[in-house]
Amino acid sequence: MEDYALKAVERLTTRPAEPYDTLSVDPITPLLGAEVTGLDLSQELTPQQEKELKHAFHTHHVLVFRDQDITPEEHKRFAGVFGELHPVALAPEGSDPYILEIKATKESRAVAGNGWHADGTADAEPSLGSLLYITTIPEGGSGGDTVFANMHLAYELLSPSMRTFLDSLTAVHDGALPWTAAGQTPPPEYEVPRTEQPVVARHPETDRKLLFVNAPYTSHIPQLSRTESDALLEMLYAHIARTPLLHCRVRWQERTLVLWDNRSVQHHAVWDYFPHTREGRRIAVNGSRLQA
């Protein structure tokens, strides 16, 4: 590993002990993710619990809560701790406008999230984060993990020259791309988002730099030719997918809720459990416009 990368990792793994009085935080890896215990998410959090939880969120980016029995309303209340709820695009008539039902069965021919991505990056104000609660895991209890990648570290592991080059670029994110990639056309009632975002953005709460491009939504880098843009984006996507140091893996159990920061991480919902069933519900939280 290059010296600049070693220094970045050492800096992140030698932080002081974290002061938690109302909950316990057990890191999944030294660089990403943590399991949180000591909270009952069916109950309202105290101000101190909220403060400590947000500190853990900004530190670890992916938080896992096991053995939680929560109703949809309690799920929404907990999500509301982090901000205003984001309505589901094209929500079925009669459904809760803030809850996206997640389900894959033996009838499925594709599943949402089966590939590295971040949710809704084409929105002018990308989502702060998502909270997925799994109610049914694949038969036998194996498969269906979600893998996360640290976008702060993805940026910091690039060479200084590459970081400087990327700092000056933007990228167009197009909400129609997932539709066209599947050979479909967005329905006429869907107002397709399309936004130019910084390739390297600053986290709105922590001000840390992060890499903000992903294959499903990022169209091109307008400062470059299409050939140059495609080559650069493919290099960055490969860097994210093929650098294990960036990753943590969450193995789901029934009644598990996972909260992740949609700016700080990308995720990949691994579809390795066909023909078994996996289902749950997801709520997203509104974010804010990103700045370079």
In this structure, the strands spanning 200-202 and 209-211 are antiparallel
Residue 114 has pLDDT above 90, yes or no: no
Whether the per-residue pLDDT at 125 is higher than 80: the answer is: yes
- Active site residue: 117, 173, 278, 281, which one? 117
User: Given this model, what pLDDT does residue 126 score?
Assistant: 95
What pLDDT shows up at residue 166?
A: 98
What share of the chain has pLDDT > 90, as a percent? 73
Side-chain half-sphere exposure of 21, counting CA atoms within 13 A: 6
pLDDT at 38: 96
The CATH classification number of 3-285 equals 3.60.130.10
Q: Are 8 and 42 in contact (CB under 8 A)?
A: no
**Catalytic residue list contains 119:** yes
pLDDT of 90: 76
Q: Is 171:221 a contact under the CB 8 Å cutoff?
A: yes
144 versus 198: the higher-pLDDT residue is 198
pLDDT higher than 80, residue 109 = no
Residue 189 CA: distances (Å) to CA of 89, 91, 185, 248: 10, 11, 11, 37
Averaged over 177-188, what is the pLDDT? 81
Max Cα–Cα distance, the chain, nearest Å: 56
CB proximity list for 19: less than 8 A, separation 6 or greater: none
The pLDDT assigned to 182 comes to 76
267 catalytically annotated = yes
Q: Which of 75, 173, 263, 282 is catalytic?
A: 282
Res. 178: pLDDT tops 90: no
State the pTM of this model: 0.94
- Give 157-161 contacts, CB < 8 A, sequence gap 24+: 157/5, 157/8, 157/239, 157/243, 157/245, 157/246, 158/211, 158/239, 159/2, 159/4, 160/4
Q: Which DSSP helix (H) or strand (E) runs through 247?
A: strand 247-250
* pLDDT band at 291; cut points 50, 70, 90: very high
Place of tokens 């499925």: 108
Interval 49-83: pLDDT, tens: 999 999 999 999 999 999 999 999 999 999 999 99
With 80 as the cut, is the pLDDT of residue 193 above it? Answer: yes
pLDDT, tens only, 14-63: 776 778 999 999 999 999 999 999 999 999 999 999 999 999 999 999 99
Give the pLDDT of residue 194. Answer: 94
Instruction: Give the Cα separation of 274 and 114 in Å (integer).
Output: 13
Q: Give SS3 for 83.
A: coil
Helix, coil or strand: residue 72: helix
- Annotated catalytic, 67? no
Q: Do the Cβ atoms of 122 and 194 come closer than 8 Å? A: yes
Q: Is residue 69 among the annotated active site residues?
A: no
CB 211 within 8 A of CB 236: yes
- Catalytic residue among 96, 119, 174, 261, which? 119
